[in-house]
Amino acid sequence: MKLVLEVSTGEEAIVREWDGKVLSIGRSPHSDVQLFGPGVAEHHVRIIADGDGLRLECPMNTSVVMNDETVRKAKLSVGNSFYIDSHKVSIMASGDSAITAKVRILQYDDVSKIPTATTPDNISARSTKSRKRLWSYGLLAVGLLVSLVLPMLSSFDSKAKLVFEEYGLPSDTIWTSGDLASAHNIPGIANECKVCHESPFVSVRDSVCLTCHQELPAHGNNDIHMQVGEDPRKCLSCHKEHNEPSTLVHTDNAFCTDCHADVMDWADNKKSLPPVLGFSAKGHPEFKLQYLTPQNTATGVDWQNITHGTSEMLAESSNLKFPHDLHLGGDKVQRDDGNALECSDCHSLDKNGEHFVPITMDRSCRSCHALEFDIQAKGRELHHGEPELVLQQLTEYFALQYADPALRAEREQDSRRLPTIASMSAVDRDSCKGNAIDCARKAALLEAETQFERTGCAVCHMITKDESKPLADRWHVEPIQLQDNWYNARFDHTVHMVGDEKSETAMCITCHKADVSSASADVLIPGIGKCVQCHTDAREAVTKKQVSSSCIDCHSFHIPGKPMMLDAYLGRLHD
């Protein structure tokens, strides 16, 4: 958008054209328009294009006065005006169709009110102000003595501090706004202010925090939060010490919803975040799930997270065949003790209680799905995870079987037994009358067809066959990739494993409908409708008798995968 900016102090005016996406006004030297005054914040207000008009937005802890009301967000049109401290900002017509508007910033709302004329009224007013100024200077001196000189003296002289405390005089303890958080209330920190406060009247620097917290990973996304006025260089912008109650982490929703209550668009990465007012069916958008989707590349398959809303509920592309209902029913699949399987027989929580230990063939499947292939070799199994070696393994095995006359005779005797459907190929292979090498190759091919097309591998895997390729590459087993993190949020399964259900599986299926799922493509992750049955925003929990849930119960400002805190800090120093 293009604007004409006119900044006037009452005596002179500077007029210039401006072209950009967001006009920033504040005390910061990096602002597009820099203003001064006790009521002007470093990043006070932003003016943004809104359709054919404009809108203003104030970051946290700032506001403007518009139509005698304090506002943080409002639409602007020609003729509107608002105040920042003593500065009046007016939106005026530009007279040029290529320019959106003219923004006039005036120190006073009326230039004639500037007290420059030497009149009796002005002289009387100045005399009154002089007397008030003397009282102000006196009170300032007393305040400095009590709050600065004496505490500073006690800070450098321990004996003086004892004397001050004995006679009730102020010492450096008045500078402490509250107790330390329990994490910092330890020897070496609790009684040593200089450990964190390197210089008087200077905020604690990030470098001081990182002397201890250098191994903490995943700092927040600075590129995004700079756009809303958050200082990316200060730990103190989120973690404040000496507060009551003593905590280092913001737990109130307002810390998030001050910005996220409106739709947020990021032009740089073309992302849009819907408004969030709190955790409730109306105040929180529908969940989004991360679907692992295979993408074919020149070097193989690249699995990428593709985000979709839970209202879509697409099929999972894991390449696995697995009916949950069959395994949980107890009719066809049981434990060794004859009881039905429980969810935990395959799904084991990891130490953090949030995710599950990855499911593998050896840990979760082999006890029931052994890869035995020859009734005469109990316990001998095929390679798993290496389909290209299966033909080689089968050929080597059967070559020995047919080369040894005793083993061959025994195999021919067994071939006269009535076979099952799964062992039909065994009849053909075991009755082979050719030489050992030819019979071994034939037996290997027949058994491979059985494993890849009817039983064995084909039970759980998606397999394609290409007759035009060499025998070793004829069958392609699609790689399996199971999603282990559907939500980009935290969820503690441990605290949710409670209730009146009689079994562990009964508790699981209250949220995950595995008992009626006949295919692994079914996504068994619930949407927000299930969660709000028990959880809601703190403002509603009192009346609904539900669990009060805040933003940080599920969301973290620190993002997994980011560099270590110290590395990120050093990187900023070199930028």
The DSSP string of 306-363 is EEEETTT-PPP---B---HHHHHSSSS-B-TTSPBP-GGGT--B-TTSSSBPPP-III
Encode 58-94: b = buried (16+ Cβ within 10 Å), e = exposed. bbeebbbebeeeeeeebebeeebbbebbebbbbbeeb
Q: For residue range 191-242, what is the model confidence (pLDDT) as tens digits?
A: 778 888 888 778 888 888 888 887 776 555 555 555 555 555 577 777 888 8
| pLDDT under 50: residue ranges of the chain | 109-127, 416-424, 427, 573-575
Cα 247 from Cα 496, distance rounded (Å): 26
The pLDDT of residue 564? 65
Token code pair at residue 359 = 């499911």
DSSP annotation of 433: -
DSSP annotation of 4: E
Q: Which helix (H) or strand (E) holds 106?
A: strand 101-106
Opening angle at CA 253, ends 247 and 259, nearest 5: 120
Cα 234 from Cα 381, distance rounded (Å): 59
The pLDDT of residue 45? 94
- Asked if 516 contacts 527 with a C-beta cutoff of 8 angstroms, the reply is no
The DSSP string of 10-66 is SS-EEEEEEESSEEEEESSTTSSEE--STT--TT-EEEEEETTEEEEE--TT--EEE
The pLDDT of residue 359? 92
Q: Would strands 101-106 and 2-8 be described as parallel, antiparallel, or unpaired?
A: parallel
Residues, the chain:
575
- Asked if 419 contacts 426 with a C-beta cutoff of 8 angstroms, the reply is yes
Closest CA to 235 of 563, 569, 538: 569
The pLDDT of residue 460? 93
Rounded to whole angstroms, what are the CA distances from 14 to 7, 40, 292?
A: 5, 20, 56
Cα 533 from Cα 524, distance rounded (Å): 17
Token code pair at residue 371 = 């890869």
Helix (H, G, I), strand (E, B) or coil at 132: helix
Count helices and strands (H / E) in the chain.
17, 20
Rounded to whole angstroms, what are the CA distances from 49 to 3, 54, 56?
A: 10, 5, 9
Opening angle at CA 558, ends 563 and 312, nearest 5: 110
Q: Which long-range contacts (CB under 8 A, 24 or more apart) does 381-387 make?
A: 382/451, 382/456, 385/361, 387/452, 387/457, 387/475, 387/476, 387/477
State the first-to-last Cα distance of the chain, in angstroms, to the nearest integer: 29
Beta bridge partners of 285: none
Token code pair at residue 33 = 């328009």
Q: 2-113: which CATH architecture?
A: Sandwich (2.60)
Closest CA to 27 of 13, 15, 44: 44
Residue given tokens 């509250």 in the structure block: 178
The pLDDT of residue 360? 92
For 206, how many CA atoms within 13 A lie in the half-sphere containing its CB?
Answer: 19
For 432, how many CA atoms within 13 A lie in the half-sphere containing its CB?
Answer: 24
Rounded to whole angstroms, what are the CA distances from 365 to 145, 287, 361, 512?
A: 77, 32, 5, 21
The pLDDT of residue 428? 56
Largest CA-CA distance found in the chain, in angstroms, rounded: 131
Helix (H, G, I), strand (E, B) or coil at 175: helix
Evaluated on CA atoms 385, 389, 395, 401, the torsion sign reads: negative
Span(s) in the chain for CATH 2.60.200.20: 2-113
Beta bridge partners of 264: 273
